[in-house]
Structure 1
Amino acid sequence: MEFASTHVYNYDESDEEEITEKDLDLSSHYQPLRCAQESSQYMPLGFQANLAGVAQSEVIYDNTGCRPIQNQRQEAIYDNLKAPEPPPPRVKPKPKRNKDTGEYASAYEMLRPGDPYYYIQGEGAPQQPPPLPPMRKPVKKEPSKKHRRADTNVIAVKFDMLVNPSHLHAGSPVFCSNCEAAFSAVSRITPSGDGAQIWKCEFCDKRNPVTAAMQSIPKEDDLTFTIQPGSGGGDDTAVIFMVDISGSMSVTTAVPGTSLKDQRLNDAGAALSAYKEELAEQEDRYTTGPKTECTYVSRLQAMQSAIDQQLWKMEKSLGNKRVGLVAFNDNVTVIGDGSQEPVPLEGAGLTDEQSIISLGKIFPLPAPISEVRRCLSDKVFSLTEGGQTALGPALILSVAMASQKPGSKVIVCTDGLANVGLGKLDVTDDEHYDKASEFYEYVGHYARDSGTCVSVLTMEGEDCRVIELGNVADKTGGQVSVVDPMKLNEEFANILDDPILATNVSAKLVLHKGLYFRDDENVDGEHVSHATRNMGIVNKDSETTFEFGVRTKPIREVIYDNFGGMTITHKDDEVKVEPVYDSVNPKSMIEGMERLPFQLQIWFMGRNGAQNLRVITMDRPITKDRHFTEMNANVAVLGAHAAQSAAKLAVEGLYGEARINALVTQKLVERHALQQGDEGEDVYQTFVATLAPIQSELYRAHTSARRQPGARPSEDLEDDDDEAAVYTVFVGNQKSVKRGMTKKAKKRRQKITDKQANLFYKMKNATSNMFQKHKGQMKM
C-alpha cells in the first residue's frame, strides 16, 4: 500500500469549490503554474501572510505579469516587461475664480479643447451636460457547479510485490466475524470479564473470542498465508494467436527499401507481390530521376512474419510454452499447434455459445513450441485472405482453449468490425448493440475467472469498436493497442515479454468503521468500509487505487426547553439531562483518534498453482489540517488515481464528470506545488503533461457530445438527465450495488472512436510511475 499523504485527512464537512466551464476548458490545454496572488485563495492565512512579506529581490517579473516566488534568488531580475506600477491618484480640479466678477467658473466652463466633451455640439456652441452613457447589457453568468474539493485520502496498491512473498506462513488467518478483517500485528488480546480472552477488532470494535490459531500467527505487518500448495513445474502455459484472415487483411502498404523482400510469403501473397513489383518496374521506366525501390506488404503478410518471429524466439528461450493458432473470417478454424487437422466451425455453430465453449475445452492443448515450431510456422504461412469477420465466436473459443491452463494468453489481431455470429457489432438498433456489448462483457468475466489474459491489437485507420473489444482486455489485465501493421512484431513482443505474476487475483481493502469508500456501496445503497477489486491477471505494472472518505455522526435532534435545551440522538434513546449546544453540527466518527488501521488482503494463485493470501496491515496518523496533508502529498499516487478515475468515467460516456474529477485533482497538485518552490514547478509540469492526453481527448469528446441535436445549454457541466439502472452483483458472498449506464451515456459510448478507446483503456491502467519526475510518459 502506498498512501497519497503521510497523514489521513480528518474533516467534519467536505470542502467545496466552484468549477466553471472556463476552468474545464483551460484544463484541456497546458497551463503554467498559477502565480501566488491567483492561488492565495486556496492557502491558509498564515501562508498568505508569508507571501505578502516576500522581499522585492525575490520576485521575477515575466512576460505574463505573474510574480512567481523565487526563494533562492538574491537579486531582482527584470526582463522586457517592467514591474506593474499603480496608477497616479485622481485629483479633483479646483475651479478658477473670475477676477472681474468674483464668481467661480462652472464645471462645463472648465472644459478645454483636449477634453472629451469639448466638441459635443461644436466649438463655440452653448455647452450642455454630456449625454448619458449607453445602458450596459447584463452580463450572463458563466455556468458553474459546486464540486467536492479533492483531498489526499487515496491509497495505491501495487502488485509487483507478489513476485517475492514475505514471511510465509502455512494455514489460514483468523478473521473478524463482523468485518472480515484478519488478526494481525496491530491486533490486541485483552481479558474479558468472565476470565476468558477476547480480540476486540481494531476496525469495527467487534469482540471476538481468542482461538489457539491466533497464538501461532507471527507478529509481522506483512504475511503470506499458503492456503493450498501448488504442483510446481515449469512455464508450460499456452499462447493462442487469434488472427483475422478476412478480405480486408489483403490491404497492402508500400514499404521503402528491400529489407522485406526476403521474408517468407504464401503463394497468393508471393504472386500479388510479384505483380505489384512488375507494375512498379514499368512505371520506373518512364520516370526520370533516381529509381526508388519499394516493397508492397499486405496486413496478413505483416502479421504472418511477426508471428513467425515470435515463434522462433519462444523456441529458443521458452521451449515449454504451448502455442496455438485460431483463424477466423466467415468461419472459425481451429488450427492448434499445426500437428493435427484443422477443425472448422461454421453456420449455426457460430451462434451457439455453449457448444463453442465445450469445443474449446475439449480441444487438445498445443504441444510445447520446441516440438512443433516448424509445423506451426507452415500453418501460419498457409493462411489466405477472404470473407467477413466472425470475431465473437473465435474469441470465446480461444478463451475456452486457453482456460485449460490458468495463466495463458490470448492475442487478438484484427482489422475489421465483427459482423458474423456472436457479438456482431455492425448493427444500428440499440437492442442488438446492447446484446453484443453484453456478450463481450460476459467473455471478459469468463476469461478473468478462468485465469486467461486477453490482449487486443487492431489496425490503424479501421473501425473495430475497440471500446467493446478492449473491455475484454481491460477485465483480464491485457493490453489494448491500435497499431501500424508494420509494427506488429514489436507489439507482439511487448505482450509476450510481459510475464504474468499471478492469476485469480482479488484485492480487498479493509478500513476503520469511521471511514468509507466513495465509489462502493452495498445492496441498500450505503457506503461500505471494505471494498474488493477483482483484478484477474496481474503483471509487474498492475496497479489499482482506492479513495476513501470520513464518516460523520448523524445530526442529533435538539429539543429546546426553558433550561437551555436537551437532545435525543435516536428515537429510542433517553433524553439527556445536560444541555448540548453544538448538537446540530456534524462530527467526524474518528474525532479524538490519533491513528487509524488499514489492512490489504490479496488473494491470488501463484505461477506454481498455489493458492495464497497476502495480508498487509499498517496504521497512519490523523490530522485535521488540510494544508499539512497537501504539503506532504504524494503526487504520483494522486496522478494515478486521477487518470484511472477519469478513464473509468470516460469509457462509460460520462465526459463531464471525468473532466471535473481530473480538474479538482490538478488543483490539489497545484496547491501542493506552490508550497514547494522550484521543485514544485517540475512536479506540476510532469503531472499536467502526463494527464494532458486524456484531458484533451475528453474536451473534444465532451464538446462534440454537447453539439448533438437535442442537447441543452444546461448540459455544459452535467452529463445526464436520465436515471441509470441499478442492479445487484455478488463479490464472493457479499452483495454490492452497481449502477448501469444511462441511455445518454450508452449513446455516447457507441460513438467513441478506436483512437479514443485506445487512450482511455491505457489510462485506466495508469501507474504512479508515470507521474514520477523525469520519468518517460506513457506510450500512446
Structure 2
Amino acid sequence: MARMIKFSTGDKLPASEKLLKDIPLIGEVSFDTFEESKEIIKGKPIVCSNCGAILTRIELISMDPKVGKYFNCQYCGTVNVIDPSDLPDHIDLDAGWLIPSEVSKTDFGAGIQKGNSLIAALDVSGSMSGAKLEGVKQSLISTLKAYSKTKADALFGIVTFESSLRIYSPDGEVVEQLTGDILYDPKAIERAVANNSWVKNQLPKMTIKTTGKSWQQTVQKMQAMSSTALGPALVAARIMSLTAGTGRILLLTDGMANQGIGSLSGATPEGKSFYKQLADEMKTNGIMVDIVGIAGQGSLELKTLAQLPEITGGDLFYVDLSELSESFSLITGDELIGRNARIRVIVPEEIKLSNVSGIGTRSRRIDRGEEIALGGLTKSRSIAFEFKPTKKVKKEKKVPVQVQIRYKDEDDNERIKVIEQELTVTDQKKDLEKSLDADLIAGYAVQRAAQAMQDDRKKGKKILSDMQAQLATAAPQAKAAQEYLEEELAEIDAVIAEEEEGLARADDRVQAESYRMAKKRKK
C-alpha cells in the first residue's frame, strides 16, 4: 500500500522547536491512496490501557513468570498484561482489523450501513425557473448516466421541494406529497415517509441499472413552482436514505429555506439548531450530505446549511451555471471509503499536539489520544495535525507516531487501520530544511486560513502572507507552494471585495471558499 502519512520534515524531528522557528511541524494523513485490504488481522487489537496505543509489533511482547505475557507501551511506558488468547499469529499493518457487526445487514433502521444509495433533494421553487433548473436537470441526468456505467447497482430516489415536498417514482408518479402544517412537524414528516408503501417496498429495489432511463425522463419533465421547503425535504430524504440502506443525500438549491421546519427566513435560533440536530442524526445513521448551492442575488444562509456536509463528511459547492457540471462530477466521483469514521493520533510525551485541520471549517485543537469524528470518509480527504517537541529530545532518538483510523464498512463491520512511523531526532537545522515539504506546509496554512476566515477574513489572509514570508526564507526554491499561497490570497481578496460592495451573497461566498480551502481543492 502506498504511504498514507507524511511529515513536513520528512522522517526527521527537530530536537527543539527553536530550530525551525515559525515553520510549523505538520503530519498529514491522505486517503487518496487508501485501499481496503482483503486480508484481516483476526481478533480485536491489543490496546494500551493508559494512552490507547495499539500494539503493532509482536516482538515488543515479553514474558514474566509471575504476570505472564506483557508489553511496555512505547508511547507512555505503561506495562500492559496480555491475555494469550488475544494474541494474533502476526500483525500486518497493511491488513488491519475487522470487528464483525452485531447488527443484521438488512436492518436499515437502527443498523448503520455504508449503503449504496443516492437521494437527490431538488429545489424546484420559483427562483430556480429557467436556466438554473435546466442546468441542474442536465447535470443530474449526466450523473445518472455515469452511475449506470460505474455504479449500476446504486439505489436512487428523488424528493423535490417548493411550498410542498413531493417524492417521485421513476415513471414520474408523485407517490407522496406533503404540504401545509405537516411541514412544521419533523416527526410527522418522518412517519408519513416511513409508512409510504412505495418508499417501504419499492425504493429498496430502485437500482439505476433497472430504472436509470426512466429517472432521466422524469427529471427532464420537472418544473419550477413557488416557495422553498428545504428543511422538510431533508427530513424526508433522511428517511428515504435509511430505507435504501443509507448512502448519500445530494441537496441542490438556489434559495433560502423559508417554508416549514428549518425555515431560515429571519434566521431564528430554532431554524439554525434544526440543521445541526439533523446533521448529527444523519452522521449517526451513516448518511453523508453533499450540497450544491447555485449562486444568485440572494443568500442561501450557507453558514447554517454547511453544518450538514461538515458534520457528515460531505462536500459543499457554491457555483454559477457554468460550474454545475464540474461540481456534480467531483461529488459523484469521490470514492467513499467508509462511514462513521474516527481518527486518533497517539504520540509520546516528547511531542505535544495542537491544531488539526481537514475536518471542516471550524477551528479545532487536538489533544494526545483524542478521538475525532470525521463522518463519511472519502478518498479526497486529508487530515493534518500540528505538533512540536515539548522539551529538548535526545539526538538520534527514534520517536514513534501512531494514527488510528476506525470506520464502518458496507456490511456495518468495524474496520481499524493503524499507520505508524518513526521520526529520527536531529539538532541539525540544515538537515531539517533540506527535507522540508513546502507543499504540505502551504496546504496546512490554507486549511488554517479557511478556519480563521469564518470570523475574520483579514486574519485568514495574514496566515497565508506570514507563511509566504516564512517559506521564502526556509525553502526559497519552493515555487509551487508560493504560487498556491498567492492564488488563495487572491481568492480571499475577492471575497473581501464582495463584502465591501455589500453583496447579499457575500456571506455564502465566504462559507463556500472556506469549505473549498479546508478541502485543499484548488480553483
TM norm structure 2:
0.84
| Partner residue, 2:80 | 208
CA distance in 1, matches of 2:270, 2:453: 21
Q: How much does 1:619 deviate?
A: 1.3
| 1:9 matches 2:17 | no
Structure 1: stretches of 5+ with no match in the other structure? 16-41, 43-147, 253-297, 553-587, 675-679, 709-747, 768-777
Q: Whole-Å Cα distance in 2 between the matches of residues 168 and 344 of structure 1?
A: 47
1:695 pairs with one of 489, 497, 504: 489
**Cα deviation 1:178-202 (Å, max 9, x = unaligned):** 1111111287234558474431111
What are the residue-to-residue correspondences of 1:160-179 with 2, within 5 Å? 160-165=32-37, 168-179=40-51
Q: Which amino acid aligns with 1:457?
A: V
Match of 1:481 among 317, 332, 346: 317
For 1:645, give the aligned amino acid.
R
Confirm or deny: 8 A CA contact 1:319 1:370 kept in the other structure. Answer: yes
Paired position in structure 2 for 1:441:
276
Aligned to 2:128: 249
- Equivalent residues of 2:115, 2:246 under 8 A apart: no
Deviations, residues 357-384 of structure 1 (Å, cap 9, x unaligned):
4445553335122333344344334432
Tell me if the contact between 2:124 and 2:133 (Cα under 8 Å) persists in the aligned partners. Answer: yes
Where do 1:60-459 residues align within 5 Å?
A: 149-151=22-24, 153-165=25-37, 168-185=40-57, 188-191=60-63, 194=66, 196-213=68-85, 215-228=87-100, 237-250=116-129, 252=130, 298-338=131-171, 341-362=174-195, 363-364=199-200, 365-366=203-204, 367-405=206-244, 408-427=247-266, 432=268, 434-459=269-294
Asked if the contact 2:183–2:260 (Cα under 8 Å) also holds between the matched residues in 1, the reply is: yes
Q: Are the counterparts in 1 of residues 439 and 480 from structure 2 also a CA contact under 8 Å?
A: no
Return the alpha-carbon distance in structure 1 between the equivalents of residues 395 and 149 of structure 2.
63
- Kept in 2, the 8 Å contact 1:168–1:224? The answer is yes
Task: Judge conservation of contact 1:187–1:201 (CA < 8 Å) in 2.
Answer: no
Q: How far is 1:209 from its partner? A: 1.0
Post-superposition offset of 1:388: 1.1
Other structure's SS at 1:491 match: helix
When residues 181 and 336 of structure 1 are mapped into structure 2, their CA distance, relative to the original with a 3 A threshold, is farther
Query: Does the aligned pair in 2 maintain the 1:417–1:426 contact within 8 Å?
Result: yes
Map of 2:437 onto structure 1: 634
Compared CA separation, residues 645 and 201, structure 1 to 2 (3 A):
same
Shift of 1:612: 1.1
> Are 1:686 and 2:522 an aligned pair?
no
Tell me, in whole angstroms, the C-alpha distance in 2 between the residues paired with 1:697 and 1:414: 24
Partner of 1:658: 460
How many residue pairs get aligned? The number is 495
Alpha-carbon distance in 2 for matches of 1:665, 1:657: 12
Distance 1:526 1:300 in 2: 41
The equivalent of 2:449 in structure 1 is 646
Distance in 2 between the 1:536 and 1:180 partners? 21
User: Which letter does structure 1 place at the counterpart of 2:250?
Assistant: I
- Per-residue Cα deviation, 1:572-626 (whole angstroms, up to 9, x for no partner): xxxxxxxxxxxxxxxx4x4567111111111122345432111222211112344
Q: Which has the larger radius of gyration?
A: 1
Aligned mates of 2:461, 2:88 — CA distance in 1: 50
Inter-CA distance 211–479: structure 2 relative to 1 (3 Å threshold): same
Give a deviation string over 1:293-352, Cα, whole Å, max 9, x none.
Answer: xxxxx3223333333343344345543221111111111112254576421222222222
Deviations 1:387-436 (CA, angstroms, capped at 9, x unpaired): 111112212321332234556221111111111122222216xxx1x433
Specify which of 368, 379, 385 is matched with residue 529 of structure 1: 368
Deviation at 1:172, TM superposition (A): 0.9
Matches within 5 A, 1:567-586: none
Task: Determine if contact 1:514/1:551 at 8 Å carries over to the other structure.
Answer: yes
Task: Write the distance in 1 (CA, Å) between the matches of 2:148 and 2:460.
Answer: 45
Query: Secondary structure of the equivalent of 1:501?
Result: strand
Cα-to-partner distance string for 1:693-747 (whole Å, 9 max, x where unaligned): 4323445667998x99xxxxxxxxxxxxxxxxxxxxxxxxxxxxxxxxxxxxxxx
CA RMSD of aligned residues (A): 3.4
Q: Which residue of 2 aligns with 1:272?
A: none
Range moving further from structure 2, 543-552 or 224-233: 224-233
Asked if 2 retains the 8 angstrom alpha-carbon contact of 1:516 and 1:527, the reply is no
Counterpart-to-counterpart distance in 2, 1:425 and 1:693:
33
Tell me: CA distance 1:703–1:760, structure 2 relative to 1, closer, same or farther (3 Å).
Answer: same
SS of alignment partner, residue 282 of structure 2: helix
Contact kept in structure 2, 1:467 and 1:752, CA below 8 Å: no
Q: 1:1-40 deviations in whole A, cap 9, x for unaligned? A: 21111211232x668xxxxxxxxxxxxxxxxxxxxxxxxx
Query: In structure 2, what is the Cα distance between the partners aligned to 1:358 and 1:671?
Result: 62
Contact 1:223–1:615 at 8 Å: present in 2 too?
Answer: no
CA contact (8 A) 2:135 2:321 kept: yes
Give, in whole Å, the separation in 2 of the partners of 1:312 and 1:751. 32
1:157 is paired with a residue whose SS is: strand
Code of the residue aligned with 1:670 in structure 2: it is A
Q: Which amino acid aligns with 2:76?
A: C
Q: How many angstroms apart in 2 are the aligned matches of 1:660 and 1:551? A: 26
Contact 1:323 1:368 survives alignment (8 Å): yes
Task: Give the conservation status (yes or no) of the 8 Å contact 1:187–1:202.
Answer: no
| Aligned partner of residue 319 in structure 1, secondary structure | coil
Query: For the residues of structure 2 that align with 1:656 and 1:223, how far apart are their CA atoms?
Result: 45
Give secondary structure in 2 for the equivalent of 1:617.
strand
- Aligned-partner Cα distance in 1 for 2:38–2:15: 32
Residue identity in the other structure for 1:440: Y
Q: In structure 2, which of residues 409, 415, 418 is the aligned counterpart of residue 612 of structure 1?
A: 415
Partner Cα separation in structure 2 for residue 324 and residue 350 of structure 1: 20
Instruction: Provide the rounded CA distance (Å) in 1 between the counterparts of 2:145 and 2:367.
Output: 51
Deviations 1:202-243 (A, max 9, x none): 11111111321464252545441111169999x972111111
Counterparts of 1:512 and 1:474 in 2: how far apart (Å)?
A: 30
Give the distance between the partners of 1:308 and 1:699, measured in 2 at CA. Answer: 36
**Cα distance, 1:761 vs structure 2:** 0.6
For 1:176 and 1:161, locate their aligned partners in 2 and report how far apart those are by CA, in whole Å.
28
- Given that 2:115 and 2:410 are in contact with CA atoms closer than 8 Å, whether structure 1 keeps it comes out as no
CA gap of 1:150–1:405, structure 2 versus 1, over 3 A, is: farther
Q: Return the match for 2:387 from 530, 542, 548.
A: 548
**Distance 1:352-1:632 versus aligned 2 partners, 3 A rule:** same
Question: Counterpart in 2 of 1:60?
Answer: none
2:517 maps to which of 763, 771, 779? 763
1:158 positional shift: 1.4
**Kept in 1: contact 2:354–2:365 (CA 8 A):** no
**Are the structure 2 counterparts of residues 499 and 248 from structure 1 closer, same or farther at C-alpha, using a change threshold of 3 Å?**
same
Secondary structure, counterpart of 1:498 in structure 2: coil
In the superposition, relative to structure 1, how do residues 663 and 490 fare at CA in structure 2: closer, same or farther (>3 Å)? closer
Distance of aligned partners of 1:693 and 1:231 in 2 relative to their CA distance in 1, 3 Å threshold: farther
Kindly provide the amino acid, as one letter, of the partner of residue 352 in structure 1. D
The amino acid that maps onto 1:238 is S
C-alpha change, 1:14 and 1:443, in structure 2 (3 Å) is farther
The answer to whether the 8 A contact 1:697-1:756 is kept is no
